[in-house]
Amino acid sequence: MLFALFESSRSALASIFAHRLRSFLTTLGIIIGVASVIAVVSVTQGMSAFIGDTFASLGTNSLTIQSYTPFEDQMKGIRSRLTPEDLELIERRAEGIASITPILYANRSSQIKYGSQTAFSQIMGTTYAYQDVAQSYTQLGRFLAQPDNLTRRRIAVIGEDVRENLSLPENPVNEYVEIGGEWFKIVGLLDSMGDAMGMSRDDIVLVPYTTMVSLQGNQARTDIQIQLSLSDSAELEEVTTQLTTLLRNAHNLSSDEDDDFRIQTAEQLMEEFNQIIGMVTVVIGGIVGISLLVGGIGIMNIMLVSVTERTREIGICKAIGAKRHHILMQFLIEALLLSLLGGLIGLATGFGLGTLIANTIPGFPSATIPLWSIALALGFSGFVGVLFGILPAAKAANLDPIDALRYE
Protein backbone atom coordinates (compact mmCIF):
# COMPACT_ATOMS: atom_id res chain seq x y z
CA MET A 1 0.00 0.00 0.00
CA LEU A 2 2.85 2.37 0.86
CA PHE A 3 4.52 1.58 -2.47
CA ALA A 4 1.27 2.32 -4.32
CA LEU A 5 0.95 5.60 -2.41
CA PHE A 6 4.53 6.55 -3.24
CA GLU A 7 4.13 5.69 -6.92
CA SER A 8 0.83 7.59 -7.12
CA SER A 9 2.46 10.67 -5.58
CA ARG A 10 5.45 10.44 -7.91
CA SER A 11 3.18 10.05 -10.94
CA ALA A 12 1.01 12.98 -9.81
CA LEU A 13 4.04 15.26 -9.37
CA ALA A 14 5.41 14.23 -12.75
CA SER A 15 2.08 15.05 -14.38
CA ILE A 16 1.89 18.45 -12.61
CA PHE A 17 5.41 19.48 -13.61
CA ALA A 18 4.93 18.18 -17.15
CA HIS A 19 2.14 20.75 -17.56
CA ARG A 20 3.52 23.54 -15.35
CA LEU A 21 1.64 26.46 -16.91
CA ARG A 22 -1.67 24.59 -16.95
CA SER A 23 -1.16 23.50 -13.34
CA PHE A 24 -0.40 27.08 -12.26
CA LEU A 25 -3.47 28.47 -14.00
CA THR A 26 -5.56 25.66 -12.51
CA THR A 27 -4.53 26.56 -8.97
CA LEU A 28 -4.77 30.34 -9.50
CA GLY A 29 -8.18 30.51 -7.82
CA ILE A 30 -6.79 28.67 -4.77
CA ILE A 31 -3.72 30.94 -4.70
CA ILE A 32 -5.80 34.14 -4.83
CA GLY A 33 -8.24 32.91 -2.19
CA VAL A 34 -5.61 31.74 0.30
CA ALA A 35 -3.41 34.80 -0.30
CA SER A 36 -6.35 37.12 0.38
CA VAL A 37 -7.26 35.37 3.63
CA ILE A 38 -3.68 35.21 4.89
CA ALA A 39 -3.02 38.88 4.01
CA VAL A 40 -6.10 40.01 5.94
CA VAL A 41 -5.42 37.72 8.90
CA SER A 42 -1.73 38.67 9.14
CA VAL A 43 -2.54 42.39 9.19
CA THR A 44 -5.46 42.12 11.64
CA GLN A 45 -3.63 39.73 13.97
CA GLY A 46 -0.57 41.97 14.03
CA MET A 47 -2.80 44.93 14.86
CA SER A 48 -4.70 42.94 17.48
CA ALA A 49 -1.51 41.85 19.26
CA PHE A 50 -0.19 45.41 19.21
CA ILE A 51 -3.44 46.87 20.55
CA GLY A 52 -3.55 44.16 23.21
CA ASP A 53 -0.12 45.23 24.45
CA THR A 54 -1.23 48.87 24.36
CA PHE A 55 -4.35 48.23 26.42
CA ALA A 56 -2.39 46.05 28.83
CA SER A 57 -0.08 48.99 29.48
CA LEU A 58 -3.12 51.03 30.57
CA GLY A 59 -3.72 48.60 33.39
CA THR A 60 -6.74 46.48 34.26
CA ASN A 61 -7.83 48.67 37.19
CA SER A 62 -8.62 51.85 35.26
CA LEU A 63 -12.07 53.07 34.21
CA THR A 64 -13.22 55.72 31.76
CA ILE A 65 -16.66 57.30 32.03
CA GLN A 66 -18.00 59.38 29.17
CA SER A 67 -21.38 60.62 27.98
CA TYR A 68 -23.28 58.61 25.40
CA THR A 69 -26.04 59.78 23.07
CA PRO A 70 -27.72 57.36 20.62
CA PHE A 71 -27.54 58.43 16.98
CA GLU A 72 -31.32 58.89 16.80
CA ASP A 73 -31.21 61.37 19.70
CA GLN A 74 -28.26 63.21 18.19
CA MET A 75 -30.29 63.77 15.03
CA LYS A 76 -33.00 65.35 17.22
CA GLY A 77 -30.50 67.75 18.79
CA ILE A 78 -30.45 65.91 22.12
CA ARG A 79 -27.05 65.67 23.76
CA SER A 80 -26.11 63.75 26.91
CA ARG A 81 -23.40 65.22 29.13
CA LEU A 82 -21.25 64.45 32.12
CA THR A 83 -20.93 67.47 34.39
CA PRO A 84 -18.61 68.61 37.19
CA GLU A 85 -21.49 67.75 39.55
CA ASP A 86 -21.23 64.11 38.42
CA LEU A 87 -17.52 64.19 39.21
CA GLU A 88 -18.17 65.61 42.69
CA LEU A 89 -20.84 62.97 43.31
CA ILE A 90 -18.46 60.14 42.43
CA GLU A 91 -15.65 61.64 44.52
CA ARG A 92 -17.96 62.02 47.51
CA ARG A 93 -19.94 58.77 47.45
CA ALA A 94 -18.14 56.12 45.39
CA GLU A 95 -15.95 53.57 47.21
CA GLY A 96 -12.88 51.69 46.02
CA ILE A 97 -11.40 54.55 43.99
CA ALA A 98 -7.69 55.31 44.32
CA SER A 99 -7.44 58.28 41.93
CA ILE A 100 -9.94 60.21 39.85
CA THR A 101 -9.59 63.09 37.41
CA PRO A 102 -11.78 65.01 34.99
CA ILE A 103 -10.73 65.52 31.37
CA LEU A 104 -12.02 68.42 29.31
CA TYR A 105 -10.94 68.54 25.67
CA ALA A 106 -10.42 71.80 23.81
CA ASN A 107 -13.46 72.28 21.60
CA ARG A 108 -12.57 75.52 19.87
CA SER A 109 -9.07 75.12 18.57
CA SER A 110 -6.33 72.54 19.04
CA GLN A 111 -3.74 74.94 17.67
CA ILE A 112 -0.55 75.62 19.59
CA LYS A 113 2.13 78.13 18.59
CA TYR A 114 5.77 78.66 19.41
CA GLY A 115 7.53 81.53 17.65
CA SER A 116 6.87 81.08 13.94
CA GLN A 117 5.97 77.39 14.36
CA THR A 118 2.34 76.23 14.51
CA ALA A 119 1.05 72.74 15.25
CA PHE A 120 -2.25 71.04 15.97
CA SER A 121 -2.35 68.77 18.99
CA GLN A 122 -4.72 67.10 21.44
CA ILE A 123 -5.19 69.69 24.17
CA MET A 124 -6.96 68.68 27.35
CA GLY A 125 -7.57 70.07 30.80
CA THR A 126 -7.01 67.72 33.73
CA THR A 127 -5.61 67.53 37.25
CA TYR A 128 -2.57 66.18 39.06
CA ALA A 129 -4.30 62.77 39.43
CA TYR A 130 -4.05 62.17 35.67
CA GLN A 131 -0.49 60.87 35.94
CA ASP A 132 -1.58 58.08 38.30
CA VAL A 133 -4.73 57.18 36.36
CA ALA A 134 -3.08 57.21 32.90
CA GLN A 135 0.37 56.08 34.09
CA SER A 136 1.85 59.12 32.33
CA TYR A 137 4.83 60.77 34.01
CA THR A 138 7.29 63.53 33.19
CA GLN A 139 10.87 63.00 32.10
CA LEU A 140 11.75 66.68 32.51
CA GLY A 141 10.24 69.32 34.76
CA ARG A 142 7.13 68.60 36.80
CA PHE A 143 3.53 67.51 36.35
CA LEU A 144 0.41 69.55 37.05
CA ALA A 145 -0.16 70.24 40.76
CA GLN A 146 -3.23 70.97 42.85
CA PRO A 147 -2.35 74.69 43.32
CA ASP A 148 -2.28 75.06 39.51
CA ASN A 149 -5.97 74.17 39.37
CA LEU A 150 -6.90 76.32 42.36
CA THR A 151 -5.32 79.41 40.78
CA ARG A 152 -6.08 78.62 37.10
CA ARG A 153 -2.44 78.99 36.18
CA ARG A 154 -1.48 79.23 32.50
CA ILE A 155 0.97 76.33 32.46
CA ALA A 156 1.27 73.25 30.23
CA VAL A 157 2.86 69.80 30.18
CA ILE A 158 3.59 68.60 26.65
CA GLY A 159 4.38 65.32 24.87
CA GLU A 160 7.52 64.54 22.90
CA ASP A 161 5.81 64.92 19.50
CA VAL A 162 4.60 68.41 20.39
CA ARG A 163 8.16 69.42 21.26
CA GLU A 164 9.41 68.11 17.91
CA ASN A 165 6.56 69.63 15.87
CA LEU A 166 7.16 73.08 17.36
CA SER A 167 10.97 72.79 17.14
CA LEU A 168 11.28 73.42 20.87
CA PRO A 169 14.65 72.91 22.63
CA GLU A 170 15.61 69.47 23.96
CA ASN A 171 14.60 70.81 27.37
CA PRO A 172 11.47 72.88 26.73
CA VAL A 173 10.81 73.67 30.40
CA ASN A 174 10.23 77.41 31.01
CA GLU A 175 9.52 78.07 27.33
CA TYR A 176 6.26 79.83 26.42
CA VAL A 177 3.68 78.67 23.87
CA GLU A 178 0.40 80.21 22.74
CA ILE A 179 -2.83 78.24 23.22
CA GLY A 180 -6.25 79.72 22.48
CA GLY A 181 -4.83 83.20 22.19
CA GLU A 182 -3.13 83.06 25.61
CA TRP A 183 0.46 82.38 26.66
CA PHE A 184 1.26 79.22 28.59
CA LYS A 185 4.51 78.35 30.34
CA ILE A 186 5.80 74.81 29.77
CA VAL A 187 6.58 73.19 33.12
CA GLY A 188 7.11 69.57 32.07
CA LEU A 189 7.87 67.13 29.24
CA LEU A 190 6.11 63.74 29.33
CA ASP A 191 7.78 60.37 28.88
CA SER A 192 7.35 58.97 25.38
CA MET A 193 4.36 56.59 25.16
CA GLY A 194 4.66 55.53 21.49
CA ASP A 195 1.86 54.97 18.98
CA ALA A 196 -1.46 53.17 19.26
CA MET A 197 -3.38 52.10 16.10
CA GLY A 198 -1.22 54.44 14.04
CA MET A 199 -2.00 57.41 16.31
CA SER A 200 0.61 59.08 18.45
CA ARG A 201 0.12 59.16 22.22
CA ASP A 202 2.87 61.76 22.51
CA ASP A 203 1.02 64.44 20.55
CA ILE A 204 -0.66 65.79 23.69
CA VAL A 205 -0.82 69.00 25.73
CA LEU A 206 -2.06 68.96 29.33
CA VAL A 207 -3.22 72.13 31.08
CA PRO A 208 -4.99 72.58 34.46
CA TYR A 209 -8.66 71.62 34.33
CA THR A 210 -9.95 74.94 35.68
CA THR A 211 -7.77 76.79 33.18
CA MET A 212 -9.37 74.84 30.33
CA VAL A 213 -12.83 75.68 31.73
CA SER A 214 -11.97 79.38 31.62
CA LEU A 215 -10.66 79.02 28.05
CA GLN A 216 -13.93 77.39 26.95
CA GLY A 217 -15.85 80.54 27.85
CA ASN A 218 -19.37 80.89 29.20
CA GLN A 219 -20.97 77.67 28.05
CA ALA A 220 -24.35 76.63 29.40
CA ARG A 221 -23.27 73.04 29.96
CA THR A 222 -19.86 71.40 29.93
CA ASP A 223 -19.35 67.79 28.84
CA ILE A 224 -16.39 66.21 30.59
CA GLN A 225 -14.82 62.77 30.63
CA ILE A 226 -13.95 61.09 33.91
CA GLN A 227 -11.04 58.72 34.36
CA LEU A 228 -10.32 56.83 37.55
CA SER A 229 -8.21 54.01 38.91
CA LEU A 230 -9.32 51.48 41.52
CA SER A 231 -7.72 50.66 44.83
CA ASP A 232 -6.06 47.27 45.22
CA SER A 233 -8.91 45.82 47.27
CA ALA A 234 -11.71 47.04 44.97
CA GLU A 235 -13.66 44.70 42.69
CA LEU A 236 -14.14 46.01 39.16
CA GLU A 237 -17.72 44.77 38.77
CA GLU A 238 -18.80 46.14 42.16
CA VAL A 239 -17.37 49.58 41.43
CA THR A 240 -18.92 49.61 37.94
CA THR A 241 -22.34 48.72 39.40
CA GLN A 242 -21.97 51.37 42.07
CA LEU A 243 -21.02 54.07 39.55
CA THR A 244 -23.91 53.09 37.26
CA THR A 245 -26.41 53.41 40.11
CA LEU A 246 -25.03 56.79 41.21
CA LEU A 247 -25.08 58.30 37.71
CA ARG A 248 -28.52 56.92 36.80
CA ASN A 249 -30.00 58.42 39.95
CA ALA A 250 -28.21 61.72 39.37
CA HIS A 251 -29.53 61.88 35.78
CA ASN A 252 -33.08 60.91 36.87
CA LEU A 253 -33.24 57.91 34.53
CA SER A 254 -36.21 55.60 34.93
CA SER A 255 -35.87 51.83 34.89
CA ASP A 256 -36.96 51.57 31.25
CA GLU A 257 -34.45 54.18 30.04
CA ASP A 258 -30.98 53.29 28.79
CA ASP A 259 -27.81 54.72 30.31
CA ASP A 260 -26.80 58.10 28.91
CA PHE A 261 -23.17 57.33 29.75
CA ARG A 262 -20.61 54.60 29.13
CA ILE A 263 -18.25 53.04 31.65
CA GLN A 264 -15.37 51.33 29.90
CA THR A 265 -12.28 49.42 31.00
CA ALA A 266 -9.19 48.57 29.01
CA GLU A 267 -10.35 44.93 28.89
CA GLN A 268 -13.77 45.90 27.53
CA LEU A 269 -12.18 48.06 24.85
CA MET A 270 -9.95 45.14 23.89
CA GLU A 271 -12.92 42.77 23.74
CA GLU A 272 -14.85 45.19 21.50
CA PHE A 273 -11.84 45.58 19.25
CA ASN A 274 -11.40 41.80 18.99
CA GLN A 275 -15.09 41.40 18.12
CA ILE A 276 -14.71 43.92 15.31
CA ILE A 277 -11.56 42.20 14.04
CA GLY A 278 -13.30 38.82 14.21
CA MET A 279 -16.32 40.07 12.27
CA VAL A 280 -14.12 41.63 9.58
CA THR A 281 -12.10 38.41 9.25
CA VAL A 282 -15.24 36.24 8.99
CA VAL A 283 -16.89 38.50 6.39
CA ILE A 284 -13.77 38.70 4.24
CA GLY A 285 -13.20 34.97 4.69
CA GLY A 286 -16.71 34.29 3.39
CA ILE A 287 -16.15 36.48 0.35
CA VAL A 288 -12.80 34.86 -0.33
CA GLY A 289 -14.43 31.44 0.01
CA ILE A 290 -16.07 32.11 -3.36
CA SER A 291 -12.60 32.34 -4.89
CA LEU A 292 -11.67 29.00 -3.34
CA LEU A 293 -14.86 27.49 -4.73
CA VAL A 294 -13.99 28.76 -8.20
CA GLY A 295 -10.48 27.35 -7.78
CA GLY A 296 -11.93 23.97 -6.83
CA ILE A 297 -14.15 23.91 -9.89
CA GLY A 298 -11.11 24.75 -12.02
CA ILE A 299 -9.22 21.82 -10.54
CA MET A 300 -12.15 19.49 -11.25
CA ASN A 301 -12.39 20.64 -14.88
CA ILE A 302 -8.68 20.18 -15.53
CA MET A 303 -8.69 16.77 -13.84
CA LEU A 304 -11.60 15.67 -16.06
CA VAL A 305 -9.60 16.82 -19.09
CA SER A 306 -6.59 14.91 -17.73
CA VAL A 307 -8.67 11.74 -17.40
CA THR A 308 -9.77 12.09 -21.03
CA GLU A 309 -6.18 12.68 -22.20
CA ARG A 310 -4.88 9.64 -20.31
CA THR A 311 -7.67 7.20 -21.15
CA ARG A 312 -5.34 4.80 -23.03
CA GLU A 313 -2.78 5.04 -20.21
CA ILE A 314 -5.50 4.06 -17.70
CA GLY A 315 -6.51 1.16 -19.96
CA ILE A 316 -2.90 -0.11 -20.10
CA CYS A 317 -2.54 0.17 -16.32
CA LYS A 318 -5.72 -1.84 -15.79
CA ALA A 319 -4.69 -4.41 -18.41
CA ILE A 320 -1.44 -5.15 -16.57
CA GLY A 321 -3.17 -5.55 -13.20
CA ALA A 322 -3.85 -2.10 -11.69
CA LYS A 323 -6.86 -2.22 -9.38
CA ARG A 324 -9.67 0.32 -9.23
CA HIS A 325 -8.39 1.84 -5.98
CA HIS A 326 -4.93 2.35 -7.54
CA ILE A 327 -6.38 4.50 -10.34
CA LEU A 328 -8.63 6.31 -7.86
CA MET A 329 -5.68 7.03 -5.58
CA GLN A 330 -3.49 8.33 -8.42
CA PHE A 331 -5.97 10.95 -9.64
CA LEU A 332 -7.15 11.90 -6.16
CA ILE A 333 -3.56 12.51 -5.01
CA GLU A 334 -2.92 14.60 -8.11
CA ALA A 335 -5.92 16.83 -7.33
CA LEU A 336 -4.85 17.05 -3.67
CA LEU A 337 -1.27 18.02 -4.56
CA LEU A 338 -2.49 20.65 -7.03
CA SER A 339 -4.65 22.21 -4.34
CA LEU A 340 -1.96 22.04 -1.62
CA LEU A 341 0.66 23.58 -3.93
CA GLY A 342 -1.78 26.41 -4.60
CA GLY A 343 -2.32 26.77 -0.87
CA LEU A 344 1.43 26.97 -0.16
CA ILE A 345 1.99 29.57 -2.88
CA GLY A 346 -1.03 31.53 -1.60
CA LEU A 347 0.31 31.33 1.95
CA ALA A 348 3.66 32.84 0.97
CA THR A 349 2.01 35.45 -1.27
CA GLY A 350 -0.48 36.44 1.44
CA PHE A 351 2.21 36.90 4.07
CA GLY A 352 4.25 38.96 1.62
CA LEU A 353 1.23 41.18 0.89
CA GLY A 354 0.47 41.57 4.61
CA THR A 355 4.07 42.52 5.36
CA LEU A 356 4.10 45.00 2.48
CA ILE A 357 0.88 46.65 3.71
CA ALA A 358 2.13 46.84 7.30
CA ASN A 359 5.48 48.34 6.24
CA THR A 360 3.84 50.84 3.88
CA ILE A 361 1.70 52.47 6.59
CA PRO A 362 3.82 54.55 9.04
CA GLY A 363 3.60 53.35 12.63
CA PHE A 364 1.57 50.27 11.70
CA PRO A 365 2.38 47.05 13.65
CA SER A 366 4.18 44.20 11.92
CA ALA A 367 2.14 41.50 10.18
CA THR A 368 1.76 38.25 12.13
CA ILE A 369 0.48 34.86 10.95
CA PRO A 370 -0.96 32.65 13.73
CA LEU A 371 -0.53 28.88 13.41
CA TRP A 372 -4.29 28.33 13.23
CA SER A 373 -4.53 30.41 10.05
CA ILE A 374 -1.75 28.36 8.40
CA ALA A 375 -3.46 25.10 9.37
CA LEU A 376 -6.84 26.43 8.22
CA ALA A 377 -5.50 27.63 4.85
CA LEU A 378 -3.71 24.38 4.04
CA GLY A 379 -6.50 22.22 5.48
CA PHE A 380 -9.17 23.99 3.45
CA SER A 381 -7.00 23.80 0.33
CA GLY A 382 -6.61 20.06 0.82
CA PHE A 383 -10.35 19.69 1.43
CA VAL A 384 -11.12 21.55 -1.81
CA GLY A 385 -8.67 19.30 -3.69
CA VAL A 386 -10.23 16.11 -2.37
CA LEU A 387 -13.81 17.36 -2.78
CA PHE A 388 -13.40 18.39 -6.40
CA GLY A 389 -11.01 15.58 -7.25
CA ILE A 390 -13.38 12.75 -6.32
CA LEU A 391 -15.52 12.96 -9.46
CA PRO A 392 -12.61 12.88 -11.97
CA ALA A 393 -10.85 10.16 -9.95
CA ALA A 394 -14.02 8.05 -9.82
CA LYS A 395 -14.52 8.52 -13.57
CA ALA A 396 -10.97 7.30 -14.22
CA ALA A 397 -11.31 4.36 -11.83
CA ASN A 398 -14.57 3.21 -13.42
CA LEU A 399 -13.26 3.15 -17.01
CA ASP A 400 -13.59 -0.21 -18.72
CA PRO A 401 -10.06 -1.37 -19.66
CA ILE A 402 -11.14 -2.65 -23.13
CA ASP A 403 -12.95 0.59 -24.00
CA ALA A 404 -10.02 2.58 -22.65
CA LEU A 405 -7.54 0.70 -24.86
CA ARG A 406 -9.73 1.30 -27.93
CA TYR A 407 -9.88 5.07 -27.18
CA GLU A 408 -8.17 7.18 -29.82
DSSP state of 191: P
* 304-317 residue pLDDT tens: 777 666 666 667 77
**Mean model confidence pLDDT for the chain:** 79
* 166-224 residue pLDDT tens: 989 999 999 999 988 889 999 999 988 776 555 677 889 999 999 998 887 765 567 88
- pTM for the whole structure: 0.60
| pLDDT over 80 at 239, yes or no | yes
User: Cα 357–362–368 angle (5° rounding)?
Assistant: 45
Cβ atoms 38, 358 nearer than 8 A: no
Q: Which residues contact 287 (CB under 8 A, 6 or more apart)?
A: none
User: Which 3 state secondary structure label does DSSP give 29?
Assistant: helix
**How many CB atoms lie under 10 A from the CB of residue 58?**
19
Reported as half-sphere exposure (CB side, CA atoms, 13 A), residue 17 has a value of 6
Radius of gyration for the alpha carbons in the chain, expressed in angstroms and rounded: 32
DSSP 295-341: HHHHHHHHHHHHHHHTHHHHHHHHHTT--HHHHHHHHHHHHHHHHHH
| pLDDT over 60 at 84, yes or no | yes
**How many CB atoms lie under 10 A from the CB of residue 177?**
22
